Structure 1
Amino acid sequence: MQLIDIDKARYRKHLNIVIISFIGSLLVLSLLFGTILISLFSTVGDTNALLQVGADAVQVEQESNFRYNLLGVILALLANAAVLHSLKRSDFFTEIYYVWQIKQLQNLIYRKLKKIKIAAKAGEEDALIILFFYYQSQLQVYKLDDNTITLETIERHRQEVDESIAELGLSITTEQFNKSLLAQYK
């Protein structure tokens, strides 16, 4: 995957719309699905009628509609996931989907980061390519998400990788990165 320039204003605007829409539709669909499931399958009302018939009746443990409400939330999540999946390649989601893919790659790299750093210190070019891509992509995503707290640390790590690359006389770019490079670090 290659790093591309992203319009931060468009990305933030679209991300906020998606987040608000997701939360709103999750709320509405959860209530809708929960209500439908309760009306179709619940017997709580029947139990209450039996309890009111006689004061001497044996106390019956109150049944709850929790499981129907929980199932309503799960169905709402599945419906939202299906909509997001179908729209992920649309023009509206271009930046959001790109950042999501970059974050997935960063997660894969992070899981192997210790071994990659050891290999980079040993001068392995593939490890340096991975680290160069990793820190460049982190800088991009952190700036897009306004995560400025650790930006200096990431910049310092990137400079260390740049120095290692220069010492070895290599010419490395983010375009050289390929996900398949990660396979050798298990």
Structure 2
Amino acid sequence: MKLRHVDKPQYRKMTNQVQFGVIAILAISSLVFGQMLIAILSSATVVAGQPTGNFYFNFGGVIMGLMLCTLVVKHGRKKPQYADVYYVWQLKQLQNKIYRKLNAIQQAAADNNVNALTILCFYYQSLAIVYELDNNTLTMTEVNRQISLLEQQIKDSNLSCNADDFKVELLGDF
């Protein structure tokens, strides 16, 4: 995966649309599916003061609503207007994979392992992109500090590596 520029206002607009849309679809479809299941499968007799026993039908409606949301997102991610949202989502997933192996990668980077340094270059630069897009200014200074320390280590070791050299396969070494 290559790092690329993402238009922040457009990304924020599309992210808000996706979040609102998924929440609306989930809420409405859960109610509709739940009511349909109750109408089709529930017993007709209801005793006053007693539970209706429709919990599982309502729960089934929520599950069906989640399945519908999954289908909508799976189909919608291919649309060009949501390309940035999908790209950042994939980037966050990749950051999570790297984070799970971060201790081993940092230890190898301390020994000037080129693959580890390449992974860290990608990781910190991708964090900077995502933090900027999500207005996460609290941890941005720490990420910038990590980037400068890494760049200094690469320069001092006379190595050549950058984020463009990153491939997911490099994670297999750690």
Task: Name the amino acid aligned to 1:27.
Answer: A
Structure 1: how far apart are the matches of 2:86 and 2:107?
Answer: 31
Structure 1: how far apart are the matches of 2:57 and 2:156?
Answer: 63
Structure 2: how far apart are the matches of 1:133 and 1:10?
Answer: 23
How many residue pairs match? The answer is: 174
3-state secondary structure, aligned to 2:6: coil
Residue 114 in 1 paired to residue 113 in 2? no
Unpaired runs of 5+ residues, structure 1, are 52-59
Residue 96 in 1 paired to residue 85 in 2? yes
Identity %: 39
TM-score by length of 2: 0.96
Residue 5 in 1 paired to residue 2 in 2? no
Residue 39 in 1 paired to residue 28 in 2? no
Shift of 1:25: 1.1
Of residues 128-137 and 81-90 in structure 1, the stretch that sits farther from structure 2 once superposed is: 81-90
Residue 77 in 1 paired to residue 66 in 2? yes
Residue 150 in 1 paired to residue 150 in 2? no
Task: Name the amino acid aligned to 1:12.
Answer: R
3-state secondary structure, aligned to 2:30: helix
Match of 2:117 in 1: 128
RMSD (CA atoms): 1.4
Structure 2: how far apart are the matches of 1:149 and 1:175?
Answer: 26
Task: Name the amino acid aligned to 1:37.
Answer: L
Structure 1's consecutive aligned runs of 4 or more residues displaced over 4 angstroms after TM superposition are none
Shift of 1:47: 4.3
3-state secondary structure, aligned to 1:14: helix
Task: Name the amino acid aligned to 1:89.
Answer: K
Shift of 1:97: 0.5
TM-score by length of 1: 0.90
Of residues 131-140 and 23-32 in structure 1, the stretch that sits farther from structure 2 once superposed is: 23-32
Residue 64 in 1 paired to residue 53 in 2? yes
**1:77-121 CA-partner distances (Å, limit 9, x unpaired):** 110111110121210110000001100110000000000000000
Structure 2: how far apart are the matches of 1:87 and 1:19?
Answer: 12
3-state secondary structure, aligned to 2:89: helix
Structure 1: how far apart are the matches of 2:25 and 2:46?
Answer: 32
3-state secondary structure, aligned to 2:25: helix
Shift of 1:22: 0.9
